[in-house]
Homo-oligomer: A and B are copies of this chain.
Amino acid sequence: MRNFEFYNPVKISFGKGQIAKLSSLIPSDANVLLTYGGGSIKSNGIYDQVMNALKGYNISEFSGIEANPHYETLMKAVDLVKDKKIDFLLAVGGGSVLDGTKFIAAAALYEGSDPWDLLLHRRTVKASNAIPLGTVLTLPATGSEMNGTAVVTRWETKDKMAFDSVHVMPKFSILDPEVVFSLPVRQVSNGIVDAYIHVMEQYLTYPVNAPVQDRFAESLLLTLIEEGPKVLANRSDYDAASNLMWAATMALNGLIGVGVPQDWASHMIGHELTAFCGLDHGQSLCVVLPGIMHLKRRNKEEKLLQYGQRVWNITEGATDEKIDVIIEKTVNFFESVGVKTKLADYGVGVEIIPRIIDRFKTRGITAIGERGDLTLEEIGKVLELRLK
């Protein structure tokens, strides 16, 4: 195991009825900006629950944060924060609203000329340069509720980029699994695979003798395989919704990634598919990951076989036969929870490949992956493998 630091001071309130606790979590004299998305929280009752819990608070609102939140949209919220002298942000939504609100938190107090530099140049956020924020999660998927990472898209240039700071970690996150009951099926499907691939990116690399991290990761994969389909089959299954939600949070709160190599190649390539072609984040990951598993099977051989044995019970056959079955099992799981895994399924053809490679080139990136050896040429091959 490698040396590491772990620090996660997010307070989690998990379960039914937890939204009512908001007033114990936000200072009563706070000047709050409530941020949310397209308004589904008004039809499913969550908006009313939040407003009831915060009676007597000074609350402004900013709605319309879209999926893959746009820098252009978020900068309007930044203006509002400055105008209204907001000193607490409450994000009510899924990963996009939460990520967007983290950006607002840092951008509103950014001292440089353009807050986009937080992402482009990975500028450090100081403690005094972030507005405190809390979240009410409405969609189990991204893990944003318990980490300091945010991904933002600059619509104008189709740049989808990430930044990370302990100072934009939520002070608290409320996780009420009942929010799952009213979610569109597509969002549940995307949530299951998003969490699954978050685990895989921290797990499917090479062994460094870290059995706690490995087994925790496998625990989450097994839980997602078991509970995801239950949530889809019965949307009012509270237990299954709870287990999906907690697994998705654990998948990206830093715990399973401490002291081990990580490979965020599927995310890096997937982000481009989302930015250029509009694939949902989860969809983009399900397209890319199987290609990487196939192409980098020698790099990842030991962990692929461990994954196959412990998660899919695959123990028979020659190494490459086993790996083929392991990839097939993984793809079948994604498809079984309703997420297509080929570019053709999304109407994307071979022409996307040079555009994505050019994008990496433009950013000065020549290779990615846990060993830094997935070259631009290989990124092209990965995508070729996933055409149809």
Q: Footprint of B on A, CB under 8 Å?
A: 1-18, 209-212, 215-216, 218-220, 222-223, 226-227, 239, 242-243, 246-247, 250, 255, 258-259
Contact = CB atoms under 8 A, between A and B. Distances in A.
A105 B8 CA distance: 23
Closest 6 CB pairs of A and B: A3-B15, A215-B219, A9-B9, A7-B11, A6-B12, A209-B239
A125 to B, nearest CB: 17
Contacts of A2: 15
6 contacts: A5-B14, A15-B259, A210-B243, A211-B226, A246-B259, A255-B255
Contact of A6 (B14, B17, B242, B258): B14
Nearest to A211: B223
Task: Report copies per complex.
Answer: 2
Contact of A215 (B6, B210, B223): B223
A239 to B, nearest CB: 4
A12 B3 contact: no
Given A210-B243, A211-B226, A13 B18 contact: no
A136 to B, nearest CB: 15
B12 A243 contact: no
Contacts of A8: 8-9
A246 B1 contact: yes
Given A211-B223, A216-B219, A226-B211, A5 B1 contact: no
Contacts of A17: 3
A7 B6 contact: no
Nearest to A166: B11
A258 B5 CA distance: 23
Contact of A258 (B9, B14, B18, B222): B14
B211 A243 contact: yes
B226 A222 contact: no
A10 B5 CA distance: 11
A242 to B, nearest CB: 5
